Amino acid sequence: MLATEQAVPLLFCKAIIMSAKSMPTKIGIIKILLTSTIVIAAKVLKVLFGRLIIASFES
């Protein structure tokens, strides 16, 4: 669980760097920022729901 949380900021930075290299246009960067934000949000929610489910089984 901790590994994924630590990897998220790294993935975000990589996405920004890659978008800056491949598409210098503002629209391209905004699109990639939006998609990476959605992906990160989905991963975070998945982790949080996973913890909630585990916690409910343990109690």
Are the C-beta atoms of residues 8 and 40 closer than 8 Å to each other? yes
Provide the 3-class DSSP secondary structure of residue 25: coil
Model pLDDT for residues 9-51, shown as the tens digit of each residue:
777 777 777 766 665 677 777 888 888 899 889 999 998 888 8
What is the sign of the dihedral through the CA atoms of 21, 25, 30 and 31?
Answer: negative
**H or E element, residue 24:** none
Range of the structural domain that residue 53 is part of = 10-58
Q: What is this structure's pTM? A: 0.44
**pLDDT at residue 1 above 60?**
no
Establish if 35 belongs to a structural domain: yes
Establish if 2 belongs to a structural domain: no
Establish if 4 belongs to a structural domain: no
Q: What is the DSSP letter of 34?
A: H
Number of domains in the chain: 1
18 alpha carbon, distance to own chain's centre: 15
| pLDDT confidence bin for 6, thresholds 50/70/90 | low
Establish if 3 belongs to a structural domain: no
pLDDT at 30: 81
